[in-house]
Amino acid sequence: MNYYILSEEVFETIEKDNVYFMRKSIDRTERLVATTDLINDRIRKFNNINTCSNYTFTNHADWVGDSTGIEVEELEEGGYISEVDD
């Protein structure tokens, strides 16, 4: 699995069937994704699931907004439903 932060524009171009997890940033301009795809046009790439999770705790104001972050377990469980992508 690959973990990235993508711009909204890049997210719209990737294969959604390969997206396992997606969370919009608080300002809705970026997407944190777990995907099987390799994406070169990205804002940030994480080496592993732990680094990705830690980043959201350090930058919680951008991703969660309540002084927490996205737990590894939440990333592992997945959470991207295309019909709810608003």
User: Domain residues of the chain, as ranges?
Assistant: 2-81
Q: What is the pTM of this model?
A: 0.88
Asked if the model's pLDDT at residue 80 lies above 50, the reply is yes
Asked if the model's pLDDT at residue 84 lies above 50, the reply is no
pLDDT score of 81 = 60
34 compared with 82, residue with greater pLDDT: 34
Asked if the model's pLDDT at residue 41 lies above 70, the reply is yes
Asked if the model's pLDDT at residue 34 lies above 70, the reply is yes
Q: Residues 9-23: what's their mean pLDDT?
A: 95
Q: How confident is the model at residue 79 (pLDDT cuts 50, 70, 90)?
A: confident
Contact between 52 and 59 under an 8 Å Cβ cutoff? The reply is no
AA identity, residue 35: T
50 compared with 67, residue with greater pLDDT: 50
Alpha-carbon torsion angle 6, 73, 65, 28, nearest 10? 30
- As a whole number of angstroms, the distance between CA 14 and CA 36 comes to 11
- As a whole number of angstroms, the distance between CA 79 and CA 86 comes to 14
